[in-house]
Structure 1
């Protein structure tokens, strides 16, 4: 079993449950957590027993409030160069293409958007809130707002970014803007994430990971570039035709409507 100083970790039924575990600091990142997350994402690429990751935060007050302001991150003297340790916490930056579901409980703000911006989808408790305090403190919301701009309408990103600490986006509004895919009562958050993760984990991993990679390519590339990549993703990820036929015959007729 993996053990960490700042993370909780459990693994069952093809799902890795990762918990940001600094509740006394609202699960803010320190340099240890940053390194532990980066190391874990890199390790999970090679763990075939893990097919899906669920990421959440300890306690009910906060999912994550960004970087711990007590952390001292030395920076170059030139404004044209920057050392941003937060990039290392992002799953895709770590070359992890297994699905990551984020279950948001409480506040998610600032640097939390590095994680929300590179997950596959977000499930939030009804009490979850989202905000970006950068402008309040004379800081540029660079990476955070860019991640949000890929997931939300422009006006909503502008409002959330520019109003800083003055306004928080509710889980309901986050759902309406498309940032969140589902909102549930707080006591149902774990079960909602568990159901989705285990459903995905039950599918052949090649098709799942190839689909994840294809969708991110469609977002990052031009239309023609992404379409040119699609045949290669299909060739790499598809099961043999006979295996597909066997799974089709065994398919369950049960499903949910969201």
Structure 2
């Protein structure tokens, strides 16, 4: 099936709700993601980030609200949504017995694509893994393993990719490798929805950042817009701009159970 390019935002979420018995995980979530951009859903563990991604990738049904991906409704057009996306979870889903190239060829064959070998070679080159392509994935470093995992998710060129906490457990060098990979995805026109609990990751990568706290989006804007929510601190007459960490802790609270002021959505000037 061929998925045609849709108009409007790559992802649109309105009033999304999800509960597990008495536990309300999502309590009316709203956001949009522009095409070809990196959107970071930032929040602590248990904030509802993974639940939102599972709903958007058709792995879970929402209790209320609507969501569309690449112009297709996740509830009524799940097959079209699946053709338009790829999902990379928190841990690399690669076969360690196979080589990097064999993993890519396997995915290409499962997608019934022609010339899977060429597809694998192109992706290995794109992710600077050509020299390691013939080695078993079990010999890869953490960063290499994550990069081959993301490469596997790009087989078939999906226009939208979900990265659910992609750098969890990685060392600093491996994190930087993954960050560069994510930037290159957006540069090539892929829409990236990134969930993370790392403030520096959102600050480094995202065009827009939404903070998800206790099942709700409490702020949504560019990094510059979020920083404007707090006044700059003046120390010895030197103006210090607030960091994303300052914004996050002020809105969410250091203990993760409170924030002051009304929920806010920072609008763009687009």
Q: TM-score, normalised by structure 1?
A: 0.31
Which structure is richer in relative contact order (CA contacts within 8 A, separation 6 or more)?
A: 2
Q: TM-score, normalised by structure 2?
A: 0.30
Q: Which structure is higher in helix share?
A: 1
